[in-house]
Structure 1
């Protein structure tokens, strides 16, 4: 209903954000907006922690990749919401407090999924879908002009949540392949929905329903399982017979061998997200920026492994066909503390910075090989690792007082890691496989080249 005719010269008014009538809705008060944003923040923060706690444990490579990506998005969502709340009220903001104990019970239960299916049911089919409903409700009821910064923020978060939920549904469709699995999945979903109803929904304004469900949670923080796992596709995961860190340096090796040793080195980087998960989950009391920065680094390392996966696809080889060593994450997760693991990570990053022996040199070698995918991968790997060295410098050096002191204690952690790593060496016969891998790569290159020539002649 138009209250009055306005001559806007045919130009969309109010910057095209909404109509006059839409702009006249009362929306949320600042207090109510802050209250709801704190609930959204708590869920985003909790999702980041949930995925961090389970990335190493889930055996499916594709799920690890998604967890690595999505926990970074969750960290970014939390950081953005925190910034918005800080613009709306004087401190203290209370952003690290639990906004509703019933929400805590719901989320504490979801993190305790027994297997990948239950984890995906909780994180994607329940929590993210409920977040989508809550975000849509907020966007529908808010006044888009009065709190436009919130409108713009939540629209972006909503798009991310919709994409993540869609991935989760596709993954569940693939994994729930038997009637008994479907039955168990439905039971877990109903259990979590019951707890959400008992909390009055994400908005907390629905009349709570009585809940008599038996909880897996004992009210204490979830004790994560740090042991990294891979599924049945992956063979001999402690085999380190291939000297992947040295082949690309050897000028006597062929260009394709140097290129694919770099590509395989990137593929092998999945062990870094696996050992960063416990760092993110177990180290407490840091500013949220710490978790956001490390979540970004974890996602970058996941992305490097995915680039390695793409590089092998380009070479015509399934990424899981040959051994991908898992010993580093196994030892760091089970023998060292999360702080020691972070120091090891930083020390490795520092060693990659020198021009003649670090990432720039790897990029130069990739360029010399003539392999376009290897060059692309190394180009962005180099950029990412410079950022990662800065992240470690930012968060570790202040804890130990100086670069020298940090380096000394990091070297102690490196020594402890090296001493413990001998255990993993005993878990494989280290059967040589690299020559077979390279033979397959060369055969594929020859076949592809022949196919290109045949198509060219046909023209």
Structure 2
């Protein structure tokens, strides 16, 4: 008869039979290599820290009063979520690496403290030049501690991440360089960065695997009225003349109703960035994979707006020539907005966008035709995100276990009660249209004439 650790051909397996876990650990002694359990601890910490920072960054996008900032920061969010994804892939390959990751109480308090800045400039300066710079150093130290053979999979991931983190810091320098020419703003930023550095010290450093937090030792914040995260009223770029709706005439939109209106509509997609960032910051009870997908979704909307505005400028227009739709207050109904965006706004856009490609080509404008060509690819992905995550979101946050098709129907029914396209219709007519996807999309569609270029 053999014991659990004996073997007919291998001698010595029984040596570990009666050892406790502590005794086994003691046999390792004081080695310099990183064992799998050490990697698990480090990876879990960095994933938790990065994720908390990325959500905080999203919460500050609505507090940014610059179009360029609103359309560039989400790319950094997407990059950070891709870094998290890569780290998690390695973590899941290790023993004990599949357990749920949650921020420690100390980290949660730290994030709350360093998020309450007095301006976007102050927040982003400390975020990149203190937090992210220290985090980059933490990744570099981790890489340098790795054995080139034992830890090659981790080194491969870190050596892909580190240059991207360095480019983020270079981007932030360019983004914030104007602050040094404003003495009052520069002093404000300096005060906030000193406070954040004290918070980092209290935490034990951003790479500390056992963060600590002593509320009593925290110095008073230099900020009386924080500007973020998730402000009640999102801040907008003063160059944009905003409306609470889409334009209704050529005075508000010089290309209204024409083929070129497709280009303008792409440019307007900046309007969804703030609401989506409210969701990224505020939604609860969603798995990490949702945020990985959603960061891509937000970044895509930024790209769509940027390509639309770039093309408008090439066609001789600029921001001030148009009125722009936007949301004037903080988004509260997070789940409902995600349903409206993916199951109505984006799902209903394909006929118009795809249908504009050939007319643009016939008007010898392949550059403008590229916009809907690219947009349709992304929108298909976004609708898939909606179909994937809406049932999870509604179940986890609203206790609503209805299937996707029922959620989509109810979303259209709700919109049919509110949107102006349904004014003058009876309740019976609204319900009949809303229960038909094609009928609903036809009703809410823009009036466009693709035979008229501009």
Q: TM-score, normalised by structure 2?
A: 0.75
Distance 2:50 2:195 in 1: 21
Distance 2:320 2:38 in 1: 50
Which one is further off, 263-272 or 357-366?
357-366
| CA 299–146 in structure 1, closer or farther in 2 if over 3 Å, else same | same
Q: Aligned to 1:58, which of 47, 57, 64?
A: 64
Q: Is the 8 A contact 1:56 1:64 kept in 2?
A: yes
Any gaps of 5 or more consecutive residues in structure 2? 1-30, 396-400, 424-452
Confirm whether residue 225 of structure 1 aligns to residue 231 of structure 2.
yes
| Residue number in structure 2 paired with 1:414 | 415
Matches within 5 A, 1:111-122: 111-122=115-126
Pairwise CA RMSD: 3.3
Matches within 5 A, 1:180-329: 180-204=184-208, 211-215=217-221, 224-238=230-244, 240-242=246-248, 253=258, 258=259, 260-326=260-326, 329=327
Distance 1:293 1:205 in 2: 27
| Residue number in structure 2 paired with 1:5 | none
Q: Aligned to 1:352, which of 340, 349, 352?
A: 349
| CA 229–412 in structure 1, closer or farther in 2 if over 3 Å, else same | farther
Distance 2:57 2:201 in 1: 23
Q: Is the 8 A contact 1:135 1:158 kept in 2?
A: yes
| Residue number in structure 2 paired with 1:179 | 183
Q: Aligned to 2:38, which of 24, 32, 38?
A: 32
Any gaps of 5 or more consecutive residues in structure 1? 1-24, 423-440, 443-459
Residue 293 of structure 1: CA displacement?
A: 1.1
| CA 297–306 in structure 1, closer or farther in 2 if over 3 Å, else same | same
Residue 243 of structure 1: CA displacement?
A: 5.2
| Residue number in structure 2 paired with 1:129 | 133
| Residue number in structure 2 paired with 1:376 | 370
| CA 352–234 in structure 1, closer or farther in 2 if over 3 Å, else same | closer
| Residue number in structure 2 paired with 1:388 | 382
Residue 320 of structure 1: CA displacement?
A: 4.8
| Residue number in structure 2 paired with 1:451 | none
Distance 1:36 1:187 in 2: 31
| Residue number in structure 2 paired with 1:435 | none
Residue 362 of structure 1: CA displacement?
A: 2.8
| CA 320–205 in structure 1, closer or farther in 2 if over 3 Å, else same | same
